[in-house]
Amino acid sequence: MLNVIDHIQTGRDRYVAELGHFLAIPSVSALPAHAADVRRCAEWLGDEMRRVGLENVKVIETPGNPVVYADWLHAPDAPTILFYGHYDVQPVDPVELWESPPFEATVRDGEIYARGAADDKGQVFMHLKAIEAHLKQTSRLPVNIRLIVEGDEEIGSAHLDAFVRDNKAMLAADVVVISDSAMFDRGVPSICYSLRGLAYFQIDVRGTTSDLHSGVFGGAVANPAMVLAQMLAQMKDRSGHIRIPGFYDDVLPLSEEERAAWQTLPFNEKKYRKDLGAPKLFGEPGYSVLERVWARPTFEVNGLLSGFTGAGAKTVIPATAMAKVSMRLVPDQDPDRIAGLFEAYLRKVTPKTVELTVTRMHGGKPWITGYDNAFVQAAGRAIEQGFGKSPVFCREGGSIPVVSTFKAQLGLPAVLFGVGLPDENAHAPNERLDLGNFHNGIVASAYLYDEIARAGRDPRVSS
Ligand code: BES
Ligand code: MN
Ligand code: MN
C-alpha cells in the first residue's frame, strides 16, 4: 500500500490539472442545448477510464444520456465493488453571480471552483485516480471493481431503474460504493447511512382563456395567482406540519438512540443560521435542525410564476399561474403512494373557478441502512487513513434515487463516503471542492479498496 500512497502524493498537481479537463465540459443534463456536451463528457470519461487502466469500457446508450461502464475483474478471491457516480451537472444560472467562469476550473485558496467540482465530477475523479495509482504502481487492484457513471442523476435518473433491472449480470457485486455526498463538516469526515427520497410536481391553474384588463373584469373572475397561493397555503399549517391526509402514515419514527447519537455531533445551530443568512430558522416543532433535515419529510415550493413581473406596473389579471413543488420523503414513505395522496388533496383544495393540471416530474425512494456491517467498518478504517480521523455516521437530506434500486434489485449494501462540504455550493453559484479533501479522498479511496478486500475475506460477510 505504501508505494501506492507515494504514487498518489507525487500526483497531486497532475490530478488537479486533469480534473480541470473533466470540469471544462458543460455536461448540464437539464438543458437540451447541452445535449452534445453531455455526450462528449461521457466519451471523455470513457477515455479517461481506459487511460487509468480500467477494462471493458463502454459508453452505453439509454433512452436518456449514456451510462459509462468500466471494470477490472482480476482478483478472483476478493469481493467486487460496484462504484456509482454521475457525470452530469446542474445548470449554472444565475451565471452572473459566479466569480470565475463555471466551466473554467479555477483554484483559489486551496479550493477548485467549477460547476461539478463537488457534485459529482470531483468525487468520481478521486476514485479514478485511486484506481490509477493501484494499477500503475502494482498492475493490479486488491478488489474487483465495476463502475457505472450516469448522465441523468440531476434530472431524476429516470432510466436507471430499467438499466439496473436489465443488466443484473453486468452489475453483479458485493457492495456499492458512492462518493456523491458531503462530509458532516470541515475536518469531520462522515459515512452517510440514509438519504431522503423525492416526489416532484408542476401545478398549472388556468382561470380564463386570456389575460384580462383588471379594471374591466376585476371582481367578476377569480385571479389564478391568488387561487394558486391559497391552494399552496393549505399544504402546511403555520407550524410547518404538512396537511396532506395520510402523508405521515409511513414515516419511520426516530429512535431515542439515534436522537441521542445526533446530539453528540459537533453542530452549532447559531453558526448554521448565520451562514445561511436567515433571520430565524423555521421547522417542525419538537425536532432539532438535524432531525428536521435528515429524518422528517418536507413540502417545498421550488418556483412560482404568474402575471406581470417586469419593472413598472401593469394592471392585469393573469390567465394562468404555475408552481413547481416537491416533497422530500423519508423511510418508509413511497413516492408513488405520496403522489396519489398529494394529487387527491390538491384537487380537493382547488376551487371550481380554475382548471387544474398536475404534472408529475421526477421522484426517488428514500434509503436507509444499518451501519454495523463489515463494509462500512472497512470504509471507516480507510477514512481514518486518508483523513487522520475516524468518521461520524450521519444521514443526509438530499436524494440519490438509484441507491434504493441497488438494494431492491441487486440486494446490495451501500457505502456512502462523500468528501464534499455542506457549504461548497452544490447546485448554486461558485460551486467548489476543497483540494485537501480531494487529495485525502484519493488516499482514503485507495485504502478503501484494500480494506474492502480484507472485509470480504471475513467469513461473516461472505455471501
Ligand atoms: N449529490 C446529490 C445528492 C446529495 C446531496 C446527497 C447532498 C447527499 C448530500 C445529487 O446530485 C442531487 O442533487 N440529487 C438530487 C436528486 C433529484 C434530482 C432526483 C436532489 O437531491 O435534489
Ligand atoms: Mn450528486
Ligand atoms: Mn446534485
Taking only the tens place, the pLDDT of each residue in 259-315 is 999 999 999 999 999 999 999 999 999 999 999 999 999 999 999 999 999 999 999
Cell 441502512: give the residue: 369
Q: How far apart are CA 108 and CA 111, in angstroms?
A: 5
**H or E segment at 326?**
strand 320-329
Angle at 355 between CA 354 and CA 361, to 5 degrees: 125
Cell 444565475: give the residue: 94
Choose the residue to mutate in 89, 124, 154, 367 for probing ligand 1, maximizing ligand atoms within 8 Å of C-beta. Answer: 154
Q: How far apart are CA 35 and CA 26, in angstroms?
A: 9
pTM score, whole prediction = 0.95
Angle at 351 between CA 347 and CA 357, to 5 degrees: 45
Amino acid letter at 349?
V
The answer to whether the CB of 399 falls within 8 A of the CB of 199 is: no
If one compares 56 and 1, the residue with the highest pLDDT of the two is: 56
Nearest-CA residue for atom 9 of ligand 1: 181
Angle at 223 between CA 221 and CA 225, to 5 degrees: 165
Choose the residue to mutate in 89, 180, 324 for probing ligand 1, maximizing ligand atoms within 8 Å of C-beta. Answer: 180
Best CA proximity match to 180, nearest among 199, 160, 205, 153: 153
Nearest-CA residue for atom 5 of ligand 1: 398
- Is the C-beta atom of 180 inside 6 A of ligand 1? yes
Would you tell me how many other CB atoms lie within 10 Å of the CB of residue 291? 18
**Where residue 372 falls among pLDDT bands split at 50, 70, 90?**
confident
Nearby residues for ligand 3 (ion, Cβ within 5 Å): 119
Q: Give me ligand 2 centre to Cα 330, in Å.
A: 18
Amino acid letter at 360?
R
- Is the C-beta atom of 434 inside 6 A of ligand 1? no
Best CA proximity match to 259, nearest among 231, 223, 296: 296
Which pLDDT belongs to residue 456? 82
Is-catalytic flag, 458?
no
- Is the C-beta atom of 118 inside 6 A of ligand 1? no
Best CA proximity match to 416, nearest among 365, 454, 367: 367
Q: Give the relative orientation of helices 121-138 and 435-456 as an angle to the nearest 10 degrees.
A: 60
According to DSSP, residue 251 is labeled P
According to DSSP, residue 390 is labeled P
Residues 6 or more apart in contact with residue 243 via CB below 8 angstroms: 234, 235, 236, 237, 345
Is-catalytic flag, 61?
no
Q: Which of 111, 150, 153, 180 is catalytic?
A: 153
Nearest-CA residue for atom 15 of ligand 1: 399
Taking all residues of the chain, what is their mean pLDDT, rounded to a whole number? 96
Query: Would the pLDDT of 459 be above 60?
Result: no
Cell 482480476: give the residue: 74
**Where residue 457 falls among pLDDT bands split at 50, 70, 90?**
low
Cell 398549472: give the residue: 204
Taking only the tens place, the pLDDT of each residue in 319-366 is 999 999 999 999 999 999 999 999 999 999 999 999 999 999 989 999
Q: How far apart are CA 406 and CA 334, in angstroms?
A: 16
The answer to whether the CB of 210 falls within 8 A of the CB of 344 is: no
- Is the C-beta atom of 154 inside 6 A of ligand 1? yes
Alpha carbon of 18 to those of 11, 45, 135, 147, 435: distances in Å? 10, 11, 18, 19, 13
